[in-house]
Structure 1
Amino acid sequence: MKYTLLLFCTIFHLFAFAQHPLEVKIIKAEYIFDQAPFEACHASTLVELKDGEIMAAWFGGKHEGNKDVSIWTAINKRGKWSAPSQVADGIVNDTLRYPCWNPVLFKAKDGTLYLHYKIGPNPREWWAVYKISKNNGKTWSAAQKLPKDFLGPIKNKPVQLANGNILYPSSTESLDEKVWKVHLEQTDSKGYNWKKIAINCDTFGVIQPSILTYPGGKLQILCRSRQNVIVESWSKDKGKSWSKLKATSLPNPNSGSDAVTLQDGRQLLIYNPLSAGKNWWEGRSVLKLAISPDGKSWKDIYTFENNESGEYSYPAIIQGSDGAVYLSYTALRRKIKFFKLDLN
């Protein structure tokens, strides 16, 4: 019955997708903070806590890769953000410190809140660390390393499957920076018993996948690539095996994106739709929201940024229990911008 209903919703939205323009209502658009004890910030992540509260996390410091870069959080309660709070750093001992990278927030079905992040000199040599909270981020456990050779979620949020298993979108970068590859990692419902799931990346250089879900255990990943396009793979068996990567119709300038499956079965993607320029930040000056009824046909429905230059990148997107869509992204490496949307 559940799958029949979802199939009906998918068919309905395919029809509506073709017949009617979608209205995006901006409920809130703001910066998470105006003043902060760091010069630069990047790589935000979002999660819903309780009673409609939203937690954001990001890394901040003098600049990306500097030893002082730490993980910061803030909580939106009743429409107001708390001041940024440092919750993790890369201090090894009194004389050794590394930067932190790419926090990912995730709340499991049992109520455990996870903060995954990386520590290390660069994305080729970093290692995976996580903390947990049993009280919605009021206090955190000590940092724990993932098992050897596991990295957990690289940029985007995990998904928890119907059987309780947690699927993590992951990727690796070779030491010589020539090879980028995506893969998935999986644990049980408690975050234990890690295992890797390989994906045939073909000739693509890909990192930072996001995961979308469909009826009947079907899954899709969307990946950042070096080929000026978002790349996809599909699974028909709840993530146990995956198709060979192929290009989508979505352009992308080798910049991070994020996606979420809505409660009604539609798919949302927030991404930079330009091509890469000579410098790594070029192509990140435009940021759009796209929707799809099936993960194959995408339509841009809103433009968050449309600039000649500047970096507006590394978005995060979730849907709250209230049905609203929440998203955040880096604004010029100085602030994190936050939106609350209603999709008609």
Structure 2
Amino acid sequence: MKPWISIYFLLLLASCTGYQPVLISREKIFTENTAGFRQCHASTLTETKDGNILCSWFGGDHEGAPSVKIWLSGWNHQSWSVPEAVADGKVSGNTTYPTWNPVLYTLPKTDSVLLFYKAGPNPRAWSGWLNTSADNGKTWSEAQGLKGLIGPVKNRPLMLRNGDLVSPSSKEFTEKDWKVHLEWSTDHGKTWKIIPVNYNQKDVQVIQPSIIEYRNGTLQLLARSQQNKVMTSFSYDHGRQWTLWKETSLANPNSGTDAIRLKNNWLLIVYNPEISGKNWWEGRTKLNVAISKDGQQWKDVLVLENGKDGDEYSYPSVIQASDGTIHVSYTWNRKNIVHAVIQ
């Protein structure tokens, strides 16, 4: 091997092994007690075609209350707009249901933004709904029912390189019986088919997956679980078949995560690095960023929150913007949503 080639590969290796994300900024999105709701949770992010960032979440008196609506705020790289309600649970007759888990997604190379969310009395009886915007999130359509689908249950859809649109989803059949499925469209969302993922694997309970596509076409799911670990499954045939769920090196206190593949081909996940306690909120006092090359062994590289007992920093959403910056949003003690920017 020629000397200059050896030097090139050494420099390439050093740049890969030395990747270290840096926290640039972190701020609350709105002023507490002025936003029209007492509690908020489950935020989601997207970048619009005009380069702005949208963030949505559910907010109301408390999770599961009929007052809970879907709220939206926009960031123009200087400040966040005042949150406004863009969807509610008035979707069936005279009953107003609570809303849950919004998911924003911008259709590539368009001004169209999709806002998926759920409405229903609880996660075992909710249904999927969709609002659309044709002007980068400035105005929104009326709610459309997804007709038997849930939609992306927490984390955004992924458009594969072949043009297929895949929504990572899941169903809570009971409080102890959780299963992941994919909602798959080959016509940009006009029609969908459901692909169950390892429904016969009875010893693993998983929901709320993220989906990642590698450069070679391999697909990976990373899911919240009742096993005190982030669980993963791979597909090597474009999503037709999936490997059995197995543990990653990441702890999981039965709390939501989100993961993406970066432009430099590293994988990045935002998660709570603890295990479950006796109560559902235990294990959510810390929030970390970790990176990986293989999606199984992970290294913590940033601490976003390191709180005390009773704090909750949870349900992150993460995207990489067109300028390469990484944006994270997450629940801050159910009182606010935090937006962090990472370089």
Quick one: which amino acid aligns to residue 45 of structure 2?
A: L
Matched, 1:184 2:182: yes
Question: Partner residue of 1:52?
Answer: 51
Give, in angstroms, the shift of residue 50 of structure 1.
2.9
Counterpart-to-counterpart distance in 2, 1:169 and 1:64 = 22
Q: Could you say if the C-alpha distance between residues 215 and 313 of structure 1 is closer, same or farther in structure 2, counting changes exceeding 3 Å? A: same
Quick check: 265-274 or 22-31, which moved more?
A: 22-31
Give, in angstroms, the shift of residue 263 of structure 1.
1.0
Counterpart-to-counterpart distance in 1, 2:196 and 2:243 = 10
Counterpart-to-counterpart distance in 1, 2:131 and 2:94 = 23
Alpha-carbon contact 2:40-2:336 (below 8 Å) kept: yes
Secondary structure of the equivalent of 2:216? Answer: helix
- The alignment's TM-score, normalised by the length of structure 2, stands at 0.92
Counterpart-to-counterpart distance in 2, 1:103 and 1:11 = 44
Give, in angstroms, the shift of residue 216 of structure 1.
2.1
Give, in angstroms, the shift of residue 251 of structure 1.
0.7
Q: Spell out, residue by residue over 1:151-171, the C-alpha distance to the aligned partner (whole angstroms, 9 max, x if none).
A: 110000110011211001000
Matched, 1:253 2:250: no
Give, in angstroms, the shift of residue 91 of structure 1.
1.3
The percent of aligned pairs where both chains have the same amino acid is 48
Quick one: which amino acid aligns to residue 253 of structure 2?
A: P
Alpha-carbon contact 2:50-2:136 (below 8 Å) kept: no
Matched, 1:89 2:88: yes
Quick one: which amino acid aligns to residue 170 of structure 2?
A: S
Give, in angstroms, the shift of residue 17 of structure 1.
5.0
Gaps of at least 5 residues in structure 2 are 1-7
Quick one: which amino acid aligns to residue 324 of structure 1?
A: T
Secondary structure of the equivalent of 1:24? Answer: coil
Q: Spell out, residue by residue over 1:251-282, the C-alpha distance to the aligned partner (whole angstroms, 9 max, x if none).
A: 11000000011112111000001011111000
Counterpart-to-counterpart distance in 1, 2:250 and 2:93 = 47
Counterpart-to-counterpart distance in 1, 2:10 and 2:336 = 40
Alpha-carbon contact 1:108-1:189 (below 8 Å) kept: no
Counterpart-to-counterpart distance in 1, 2:265 and 2:236 = 16
Q: Could you say if the C-alpha distance between residues 91 and 147 of structure 1 is closer, same or farther in structure 2, counting changes exceeding 3 Å? A: closer
Quick one: which amino acid aligns to residue 151 of structure 1?
A: I
Question: Partner residue of 1:6?
Answer: none
Q: Could you say if the C-alpha distance between residues 227 and 84 of structure 1 is closer, same or farther in structure 2, counting changes exceeding 3 Å? A: same
Compute the RMSD of aligned alpha carbons. Answer: 1.9
Q: Could you say if the C-alpha distance between residues 288 and 160 of structure 1 is closer, same or farther in structure 2, counting changes exceeding 3 Å? A: same
Counterpart-to-counterpart distance in 1, 2:262 and 2:121 = 37
Question: Partner residue of 2:5?
Answer: none
Secondary structure of the equivalent of 2:132? Answer: strand
Alpha-carbon contact 2:49-2:109 (below 8 Å) kept: no
Question: For residues 193-212 of structure 1, what are the structure 2 equivalents within 5 Å?
Answer: 193-201=191-199, 202=201, 203-212=203-212
Quick one: which amino acid aligns to residue 269 of structure 2?
A: L
Q: Could you say if the C-alpha distance between residues 209 and 68 of structure 1 is closer, same or farther in structure 2, counting changes exceeding 3 Å? A: same
Counterpart-to-counterpart distance in 1, 2:10 and 2:204 = 32
Give, in angstroms, the shift of residue 223 of structure 1.
0.4
Q: Could you say if the C-alpha distance between residues 40 and 292 of structure 1 is closer, same or farther in structure 2, counting changes exceeding 3 Å? A: same
Q: Could you say if the C-alpha distance between residues 196 and 94 of structure 1 is closer, same or farther in structure 2, counting changes exceeding 3 Å? A: closer
Counterpart-to-counterpart distance in 2, 1:93 and 1:239 = 34
Q: Spell out, residue by residue over 1:9-28, the C-alpha distance to the aligned partner (whole angstroms, 9 max, x if none).
A: 9998766454x3x4333222
Counterpart-to-counterpart distance in 2, 1:13 and 1:282 = 41
Question: For residues 113-152 of structure 1, what are the structure 2 equivalents within 5 Å?
Answer: 113-148=113-148, 150-152=149-151
Q: Could you say if the C-alpha distance between residues 10 and 65 of structure 1 is closer, same or farther in structure 2, counting changes exceeding 3 Å? A: farther
Counterpart-to-counterpart distance in 1, 2:144 and 2:207 = 24
Quick check: 263-272 or 24-33, which moved more?
A: 24-33
Secondary structure of the equivalent of 1:80? Answer: coil
Give, in angstroms, the shift of residue 199 of structure 1.
1.1
Quick one: which amino acid aligns to residue 329 of structure 1?
A: Y
Counterpart-to-counterpart distance in 2, 1:42 and 1:321 = 26
Q: Which runs of 4+ in 1 moved over 4 A?
A: 9-18
Counterpart-to-counterpart distance in 2, 1:13 and 1:147 = 49
Counterpart-to-counterpart distance in 2, 1:147 and 1:316 = 26
Question: For residues 159-238 of structure 1, what are the structure 2 equivalents within 5 Å?
Answer: 159-174=158-173, 176-201=174-199, 202=201, 203-238=203-238
Question: Partner residue of 2:152?
Answer: 153
Give, in angstroms, the shift of residue 192 of structure 1.
1.5
Alpha-carbon contact 1:43-1:330 (below 8 Å) kept: yes
Give, in angstroms, the shift of residue 93 of structure 1.
6.3
Quick one: which amino acid aligns to residue 25 of structure 1?
A: V
Q: Could you say if the C-alpha distance between residues 301 and 147 of structure 1 is closer, same or farther in structure 2, counting changes exceeding 3 Å? A: same
Give, in angstroms, the shift of residue 217 of structure 1.
1.2
Give, in angstroms, the shift of residue 337 of structure 1.
0.4
Q: Could you say if the C-alpha distance between residues 40 and 263 of structure 1 is closer, same or farther in structure 2, counting changes exceeding 3 Å? A: same
Alpha-carbon contact 2:232-2:296 (below 8 Å) kept: no
